[in-house]
Amino acid sequence: MTARYRFSSAAESDLAGILRCIADRDGVARALGVHTKFVEAFESLAEMPSMGSLRRSLTGDRTRWHVVFRWIVLYDSESDPIIVLRVILGARDLDRLVRPDGIPE
């Protein structure tokens, strides 16, 4: 079976940290529920890569933004399979998280 999406190492770390924090704070069942919503979002993005929003001023034309609960999934919509680049809390200073070349740090 061909992968429909893959993760950068930063995105893997982001997602693991989010789920660990939720499990510690709200329990494993809640973390599993959030994980399920992320997987559903990743599958949807893989099906329709253009469904996320572009923020050209921050990340150019390839990186799209999609919100899952209060996190932003940044992904490369033009790669095949799509690459989830980062999963970051929407309340963070997004300008500081994006390098000048438009790639999320």
Domain range for 92 = 5-97
User: Is position 102 within any domain?
Assistant: no
Q: What pLDDT does residue 96 have?
A: 66
Strand, coil or helix: 65: strand
Q: What pLDDT does residue 104 have?
A: 60
Q: What pLDDT does residue 60 have?
A: 82
Q: What pLDDT does residue 6 have?
A: 96
Q: What is the CATH number of the domain that holds 16?
A: 3.30.2310.20
Report in angstroms the alpha-carbon separations of 54 from 16, 26, 43, 66, 72.
25, 32, 19, 9, 12
Q: Pick from 12, 18, 43, 40: which is nearest to 31 by CA?
A: 18
Domains identified in the chain, total number: 1
Q: State which residues of the chain have pLDDT below 70.
A: 1-2, 92-105
What global pTM score does this model have? 0.85
User: Is position 65 within any domain?
Assistant: yes
**Average pLDDT for the chain:** 89
